[in-house]
């Protein structure tokens, strides 16, 4: 039987430039799909949802997050990138995960995202066994989030060292066959590859071609840290004919300026994670440099060991970091900034429609458009940090926080209403997460301050 929901009287930010925004409008949803957006819709036989005093907009899209790290939230508040890598990967805490821990971690992390209005996430994983892969996928599935499960090899356990490339390839095909036979589902498949700065050139070429064989988005960390300017990885990929819109480059802080144009011209995406990049030492966020070369960046949270899992914060960091970069150049010339170079609406675009395009999901989500699936959120405008609202776009990009998220819908299904997640036993999830956290920390011989 068809389910119809009529959202009434919201301030609607569609993020669809052909439709525009509405000071007050209604949205009709049938099952999972947006059918109509206009003022004063008169529809019978539907559940009416009052969105008065709400900004209604697309769910936020996080294009790069290590979701499992929710188990270790807050321990990395003072970590640089090398310290993070030493403690989390390459024999660190991540290698201590049991499959049950992986499930608890991804369920917890995905619910954190949903609670904060993030309806789509790319989960950049490092897999320790097929059982771990299954558990991570199940955690995302049970949360109800939309996402790309980007499968990556850990490269550090006995499981992989037996015959790493053969095992990796075999399990990729198994996961594709068992979980991702259709793109008409909430979770789709990606590959989280090591890339040319973290593996041999031959391995990178092989993994990019494997992603294309599986018709999977291919995401890699590239162009950051002290080695980024010297590697010229993007130029190498260009000369090899490997760049394309199915490649997602994460960070891209310190590569050659001309390489941004190579990426933009090829339609490849760049995921900027501004807070973590500035904190950990990746380099200055590439937001403006990619824009200057014709690209449109997407945004991500990255490591939730070190920052909160919401996209409102990342929008603010991206916006003000890029404004500061350009403002400082003007000040250095003895002038004062006039009109700011980056607008709030652009950053909101990065966090919604540009993110969906980067994940190859813009045919489904990222804008409120009739025919697309109904991934949307309500943001209260009566809260003290929001009221009164003069500019709804500025309110979302620069003033809102997760506490303002009243409601969240994924594919037309409510997962949060009136500020509360639905059908979630938080005490049970806390117990699972605490047990897994204690296991990880008790088995780890690193920094004693974790314990």
pLDDT tens digit string along 159-175? Answer: 444 455 677 889 999 99
Question: 24 and 126: one domain?
Answer: no
Question: 195 and 49: one domain?
Answer: no
Q: What percent of the chain has pLDDT over 90?
A: 86
For β-strands 33-38 and 54-58, DSSP reports them as: unpaired
Question: 89 and 128: one domain?
Answer: yes
| CB contact at 8 A, 307 and 285 | no
Residue 435 located in a structural domain: no
Residue 431 located in a structural domain: no
Q: Which of 302, 331, 356 is the last residue of a domain?
A: 356
The pLDDT value given to residue 137: 98
pLDDT, mean over the chain? 93
Average pLDDT, integer, range 253-273: 97
Q: Which of 276, 274, 357, 358 has the alpha carbon at shortest distance from 323?
A: 274
**pLDDT band at 332; cut points 50, 70, 90:** very high
The pLDDT value given to residue 447: 53
Residue 425 located in a structural domain: no
Residue 38 located in a structural domain: yes
The pLDDT value given to residue 8: 97
The pLDDT value given to residue 161: 46
Question: 51 and 73: one domain?
Answer: no
Query: Residue 103 pLDDT > 70, yes or no?
Result: yes
**What burial class does residue 339 get, using C-beta atoms within 10 Å of its C-beta: 0-12 exposed, 13-18 middle, 19+ buried?**
exposed
- How far apart are the C-alpha atoms of 394 and 275, rounded to whole Å? 19
Question: 374 and 332: one domain?
Answer: no
The pLDDT value given to residue 16: 97
Q: How many domains does the chain have?
A: 2
Most distant CA pair in the chain, distance: 67
**pLDDT band at 46; cut points 50, 70, 90:** very high
Question: 47 and 77: one domain?
Answer: no
Helix (H) or strand (E) holding 325: helix 311-332
pLDDT 10s digits, 278-289: 999 999 999 999
Percent helix / strand / coil, the chain, rounded to 5:
40, 25, 35
pLDDT 10s digits, 215-228: 999 999 999 876 66
Question: Domain holding 246: CATH number?
Answer: 3.20.20.140
The pLDDT value given to residue 159: 45
**What burial class does residue 417 get, using C-beta atoms within 10 Å of its C-beta: 0-12 exposed, 13-18 middle, 19+ buried?**
middle
Question: 236 and 383: one domain?
Answer: no
Cis peptide before 295 (omega within 30 of 0): no
**pLDDT band at 92; cut points 50, 70, 90:** confident
Residue 443 located in a structural domain: no
pLDDT 10s digits, 115-140: 999 999 999 998 989 999 999 999 99
Question: 159 and 204: one domain?
Answer: yes
Written as six digits, the tokens of 139 are: 């955690």
The pLDDT value given to residue 90: 73
- How far apart are the C-alpha atoms of 114 and 87, rounded to whole Å? 27
Average pLDDT, integer, range 228-252: 93
Query: Residue 109 pLDDT > 70, yes or no?
Result: yes
**pLDDT band at 374; cut points 50, 70, 90:** very high
The pLDDT value given to residue 39: 95
Helix (H) or strand (E) holding 438: helix 426-442
Query: Residue 199 pLDDT > 90, yes or no?
Result: no
The pLDDT value given to residue 165: 65
Question: 380 and 316: one domain?
Answer: no
Question: Domain holding 374: CATH number?
Answer: 2.30.40.10
For β-strands 118-124 and 247-251, DSSP reports them as: unpaired
Query: Residue 399 pLDDT > 50, yes or no?
Result: yes
* CA angle (179 as vertex; 173, 185 as ends), nearest 5: 130
- How far apart are the C-alpha atoms of 333 and 112, rounded to whole Å? 44
Residue 447 located in a structural domain: no
Strands (E), 165-246: 187-193, 217-222
Residue 430 located in a structural domain: no
* CA angle (293 as vertex; 289, 297 as ends), nearest 5: 60
Q: 203 Cβ partners below 8 Å, 6+ apart?
A: 165, 194
| CB contact at 8 A, 420 and 88 | no
Average pLDDT, integer, range 329-338: 94
Residue 41, sorted as left (phi over 0), alpha (psi -120 to 50) or beta, turns out to be: beta
CA torsion, points 265, 267, 273, 279, in degrees to nearest 10?
-30
pLDDT 10s digits, 423-450: 999 999 999 999 999 999 987 665 545 4
Average pLDDT, integer, range 284-303: 98
Chain position carrying tokens 């990619």: 290
153 three-class SS: strand
Question: 36 and 156: one domain?
Answer: no
**pLDDT band at 89; cut points 50, 70, 90:** confident
Chain position carrying tokens 């391995």: 203
For β-strands 302-303 and 376-380, DSSP reports them as: unpaired
Handedness of CA 253, 256, 257, 263 (dihedral sign): negative
Question: 348 and 376: one domain?
Answer: no
- How far apart are the C-alpha atoms of 34 and 439, rounded to whole Å? 44
Residue 253 located in a structural domain: yes
Q: Which of 63, 48, 67, 50 has the alpha carbon at shortest distance from 10?
A: 50
Query: Residue 202 pLDDT > 70, yes or no?
Result: yes
Question: 48 and 101: one domain?
Answer: no
Average pLDDT, integer, range 65-86: 94
**Structural domain of residue 95, as residue ranges?**
60-356
């Amino acid at each position: 039987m068809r389910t119809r929901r009529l959202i009434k009287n919201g301030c609607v930010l569609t993020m669809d430039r052909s439709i525009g925004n509405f000071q007050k409008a209604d949205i009709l949803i049938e099952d999972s799909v947006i059918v109509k957006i206009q003022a004063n819709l008169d529809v019978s036989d539907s559940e009416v949802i009052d969105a008065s005093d709400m900004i209604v907009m697309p769910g936020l899209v996080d294009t790069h997050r290590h979701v499992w790290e929710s188990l270790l939230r807050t321990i990395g508040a003072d970590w640089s990138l090398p310290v993070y890598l030493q403690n989390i990967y390459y024999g660190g805490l991540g290698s201590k995960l049991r499959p049950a821990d992986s499930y608890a971690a991804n369920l917890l992390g995905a619910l954190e995202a949903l609670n904060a209005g993030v309806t789509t996430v790319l989960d950049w994983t490092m897999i320790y066994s097929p059982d771990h892969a299954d558990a991570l996928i199940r955690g995302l599935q049970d949360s109800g989030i939309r996402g790309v499960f980007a499968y990556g090899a850990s490269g550090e356990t006995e499981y992989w060292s037996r015959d790493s490339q053969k095992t990796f390839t075999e399990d990729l095909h198994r996961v594709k066959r068992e979980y991702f036979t259709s793109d008409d589902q909430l979770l789709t498949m990606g590959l989280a590859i090591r890339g040319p700065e973290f593996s041999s050139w031959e391995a990178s070429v092989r993994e990019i071609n494997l992603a294309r064989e599986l018709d999977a988005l291919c995401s890699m960390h590239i162009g950051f840290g002290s080695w980024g300017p010297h590697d010229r990885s993007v130029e190498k990929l260009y000369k090899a004919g490997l760049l394309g819109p199915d490649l997602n480059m994460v960070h891209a802080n310190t590569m050659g300026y001309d390489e941004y144009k190579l990426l933009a011209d090829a339609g490849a995406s760049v995921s900027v994670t501004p807070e973590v990049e500035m904190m950990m030492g990746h380099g200055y966020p590439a937001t403006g440099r990619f824009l200057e070369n014709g690209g449109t960046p997407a945004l991500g949270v990255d490591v939730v060991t070190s920052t909160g899992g919401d996209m409102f914060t990342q929008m603010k960091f991206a916006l003000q970091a890029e404004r500061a970069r350009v403002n400082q150049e003007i000040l250095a010339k003895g002038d004062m900034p006039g009109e700011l170079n980056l607008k709030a609406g652009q950053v909101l675009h990065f966090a919604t429609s540009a993110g969906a395009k980067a994940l190859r999901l813009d045919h489904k989500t990222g804008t409120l458009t009739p025919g697309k699936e109904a991934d949307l959120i309500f943001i209260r405008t009566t809260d003290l940090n929001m009221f009164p609202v003069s500019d709804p776009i500025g309110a979302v990009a620069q003033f809102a926080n997760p506490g303002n998220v009243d409601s969240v819908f994924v594919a037309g299904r409510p997962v949060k209403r009136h500020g509360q997640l639905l059908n979630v036993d938080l005490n049970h999830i806390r117990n699972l997460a605490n047990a897994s956290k204690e296991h990880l920390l008790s088995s780890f011989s690193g920094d004693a301050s974790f314990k």
